[in-house]
A and B are shown apart, each in its own frame.
Chain A
Amino acid sequence: MLSVDSIDTYYGQSHILHDVSFEAGTNEVVALLGRNGAGKTTTMRSVMGLTPPRTGTIRFDGTDITGDAPSSIANRGIGYVPQDRRMFPEMTVEENLRMGLGKAPFDPDRMERLFERFPRVGERLDQRAGTLSGGEQQMVAMARALMRDPQLLLLDEPTEGLMPSLIPEIAEITQAIATAGYTIVIVEQNVDLVLDIADRIYLLQNGRIGETVTPEALEQNDAILEEYLGV
């Protein structure tokens, strides 16, 4: 479904991603792991066209989307839950959710089903998104990405910056989304969550993919964990 082939991405003169390649097949959950500054978020932004790569190709469902506008990429059916949630703080929760539709038609049944998954979101529809807690904002961001029933979901650090007490709830929701059959590319520092849901893990270091491992292999290899994650 998603095929990233030898991309090189820059911020101005800074070369961030070096020859990065990875794949995510239909219904697969693929994780990108690495320390801070390894290039995980830049990889997500490259796929979304927010920081397009200078070389290499990104294919989605067989179509080359490299260099396409972010709006066009999103409308192909890629939902993005960015780091820090990126709400529209002055708008209500309901307005934030509706904004996730893009060009897709509004389906009230779909919204109701989303509220079953995110009951707290359904209770706060009229509240300004900026007044929600970090965990609630994360739920809104995830629900917003699911509004148009995307074929591929990009999750960038869903548990980052949350109160420790909220992490299990978000992890549980992430797990539920993963088992619901979505193709997911997830960037996460919470290794336990990744080990639970990922089919394949790409380990990033200094903007390069170092290793590709299964969760089982990673769990049993302390040396890799130490080298790439410092744990």
Chain B
Amino acid sequence: MWSLHTPVGTVTLNRAVLLVLFVIALLWPVIGVGDFLLFLGALFLAFGLYGASFDLLYGYTGLLSFGHSVFFGVGAYAATFALMDYGQGAFVGLLVAFLATILIAVGLGLIAVRVKSHGFVIVTILIALIAQRLAETYSGITGGTDGIIVSVPDIWIPLLGEYSVFDPTFRYYFTLGVVLVSLFLMYRLVISPVGLVFRMIRENEQRARMLGYNVTAYKLIAFVASGAFAGIAGALATYINGFINASRFSLIVAGDPVIYTMLGGRSTIVGAVIGAVLIEGAGNYVSQVTDAYQLIVGLLLLVMVVVEPEGLIGLWNRLQRRVKRRVRDSTPTPEVTTDD
């Protein structure tokens, strides 16, 4: 397949596509898209991180969680409390979101990862339902369904100075920076020996045990890491929206990263980000044309899942394989000549 050799390494077609996507993300504010699209861009990136965090768990260990909204919500509320009640800055808020989600994920994970197969799915659904009920019941703390307006203090960036999150361009780049660092950390994790064990668990748990791996411990690591990044995504979404309510814990929010990952492609990290941008972008634009936008987007998703269960990245890989095969088949075999 196509590849370009450069002094800094080989650029494959996949890497070139990723590079183009990265450049588009980087130049998004520069090409004059306007404040609203900058707002949407930042929000979609936060949702993309949410999707990628889910992919870390589902795509790599095979654990299908319908309770990821709990981490998204816990991260969002933890950051909100750090900012509003303890007067902390945005970075500390993110750190608190990360740590609080780890704490909650360890507690919930110790219950959830011991349950096998469909039981795990059911346990995660129950956890999300309980969390939403609790958030609605204790509305004095969470704001209930009415929610809380979140005021994010100005953010001081070393060497660059102080910026307001109300500045759409800064808000976009701040989100992009946090999302890229998070994606990089997740990528490092999945290509590490620990990530290899995650994949081994996805393929066959018993074989992993037989080879000497404590499957429960590794599942817990995946669950907690995945939850912690979902927590950061929740905090980012709150910074961007300036608002939070109990519906962050809802099953609909829990289903979002599942859909992002299924559309983009699992076990890829970046696939869920692409899926989030396409789903949320399509939802935003189709809703301006027709009220039946959810039906249309839903049907498109259904077709996608049936036609290509590995998502858009799976489709892309399949296309590459087909082109490769065509090229190989159409290349004439060299004639053999003999000197008689």
Contact = CB atoms under 8 A, between A and B. Distances in A.
B211 A95 contact: no
B10 to A, nearest CB: 15
Contacts of A60: none
A185 to B, nearest CB: 15
Interface centre among B196, B207, B212 (most CB of A within 10 A): B212
Given A91-B199, A91-B200, A99 B206 contact: no
A6 B210 CA distance: 23
A88 B209 contact: no
Interface of A: 48, 50, 69-72, 74-75, 80, 82, 86, 88-91, 95, 98-100, 102-103, 144, 148
Interface string B213-226: 11100000000000
Given A71-B215, A88-B203, A98-B196, 15 more contacts: A48-B210, A70-B206, A71-B213, A71-B214, A86-B204, A86-B207, A88-B199, A88-B200, A91-B203, A95-B199, A99-B197, A99-B211, A99-B213, A102-B212, A102-B213
B210 A100 contact: no
A74 B203 contact: no
Contacts of B215: 71
B158 interface: no
A86 B200 CA distance: 12
B210 A74 contact: yes
Contacts of B206: 50, 70
- Chain B binding surface, main DSSP class: helix
B193 interface: yes
Contacts of A75: 212
B210 A86 contact: yes
26 contacts: A48-B210, A50-B210, A69-B214, A70-B206, A71-B209, A71-B212, A71-B213, A71-B215, A74-B210, A74-B211, A74-B212, A86-B204, A88-B200, A88-B207, A89-B203, A91-B196, A91-B199, A91-B200, A95-B196, A95-B199, A99-B208, A99-B213, A100-B211, A102-B213, A103-B212, A148-B212
Interface in B45-73: none
Contact of A69 (B193, B204, B209): B209
B200 A99 contact: yes
B210 A80 contact: yes
A211 to B, nearest CB: 30
Q: Lowest 7 CB-CB distances: which A-B pairs, in order?
A: A102-B212, A74-B212, A70-B209, A75-B212, A88-B203, A71-B214, A71-B212
